[in-house]
């Protein structure tokens, strides 16, 4: 199983990023921690890419499951949907 980026503390590493000047200026004016903000944005992008990859890899199973539910209904009926 692949762990998420935020699941374990990791060593920090310096890197170069190219960021729009106006955005960086506004972030600094608001006294934001730009390194932390960039890291949060990258984590969100990684999470979204993993979700899309998972959906792509499991598309056949999802379609088969949905087809079975359409044909036979859910395996379990929630208490609030019972007669």
- What is the per-residue pLDDT across 20-55, written as a single tens digit (0 to 9) for each? 999 999 999 999 999 999 999 999 999 999 999 999
| pLDDT(3) > 90 | no
The Cα 38–Cα 45 span in angstroms is 11
For the chain, the residue count is: 83
Mean pLDDT of the 56-72 span: 97
pLDDT at 74: 87
Mean pLDDT of the 52-74 span: 96
Mean pLDDT of the 51-72 span: 97
């Amino acid at each position: 199983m692949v762990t998420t980026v935020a699941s374990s503390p990791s060593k920090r590493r310096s890197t170069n990023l190219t960021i729009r000047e106006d955005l960086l200026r506004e972030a600094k004016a608001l006294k934001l921690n730009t390194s932390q903000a960039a890291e949060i944005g990258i984590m969100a992008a990684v999470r979204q890419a993993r979700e899309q990859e998972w959906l792509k890899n499991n598309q056949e199973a999802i379609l088969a499951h949905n087809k079975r539910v359409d044909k036979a209904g859910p395996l379990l009926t929630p208490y609030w949907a019972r007669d």
